[in-house]
């Protein structure tokens, strides 16, 4: 059995996790599937920044996928299918690190959406919520 490498962020491969500080809305098939003011932005090396949404701010049922991957900086990732809009299911639209490595521990309890499977909008202003 081969041990998986566990790597720490470094100057050569930096990773930061910070509050986004903006309202984030996620749509799939035109339907809002997540909305939050508590997103985290994970920036890793030269990859595009990723919005991590608190799982409690996902507004549609999720179905666990059999897909699993490993990142030596973040740990084991699990995936979810999302059913939204016209009822169509988008496979593996979400990933999550349920027990992330200490360097990125803040993303525990959060999920991320693939930008090619969801529309992710980060607003400079939070919507007016008069009810």
Segment 19-73, tens digit of pLDDT: 999 999 999 999 999 999 999 999 999 999 999 999 999 999 999 999 999 999 9
- CB neighbours of residue 95 within 10 Å: 21
Segment 7-23, tens digit of pLDDT: 999 999 999 999 999 99
Segment 58-112, tens digit of pLDDT: 999 999 999 999 999 999 999 999 998 776 899 999 999 999 999 999 999 999 9
On whether residue 90 sits in a domain, the answer given is: yes
Number of domains in the chain: 1
pTM here is 0.92
User: Does residue 3 surpass a pLDDT of 80?
Assistant: yes
- The residue among 109, 48, 104, 49 whose CA lies nearest residue 78 is 109
On whether residue 75 sits in a domain, the answer given is: yes
On whether residue 5 sits in a domain, the answer given is: no
Instruction: Give the C-alpha distances (Å, rounded to integers) separating 46 from 66, 103, 127.
Output: 29, 18, 31
On whether residue 7 sits in a domain, the answer given is: no
Give residue 131's pLDDT: 43
On whether residue 115 sits in a domain, the answer given is: yes
CATH number at residue 31: 2.170.150.40
On whether residue 3 sits in a domain, the answer given is: no
Domain that includes residue 95, residue range: 15-123
Cβ(21)–Cβ(108) below 8 Å: no
């Amino acid at each position: 059995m081969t041990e998986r490498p566990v790597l720490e962020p470094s100057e050569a491969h930096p990773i930061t996790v910070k509050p986004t500080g903006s309202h984030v809305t996620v749509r799939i098939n035109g339907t809002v599937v997540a909305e939050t003011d508590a997103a985290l932005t994970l920036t890793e090396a030269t990859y595009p920044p990723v919005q991590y949404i608190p799982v409690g701010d996902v507004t549609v049922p999720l179905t666990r996928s059999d897909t699993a991957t490993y990142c030596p900086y973040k740990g084991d990732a699990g995936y979810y299918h999302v059913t939204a809009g016209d009822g169509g299911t988008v496979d593996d639209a979400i990933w999550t690190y349920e027990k992330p490595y200490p360097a990125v521990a803040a993303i525990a309890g959060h999920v991320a959406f693939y930008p090619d499977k969801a529309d992710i909008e980060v607003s400079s202003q939070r919507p007016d919520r008069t009810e």
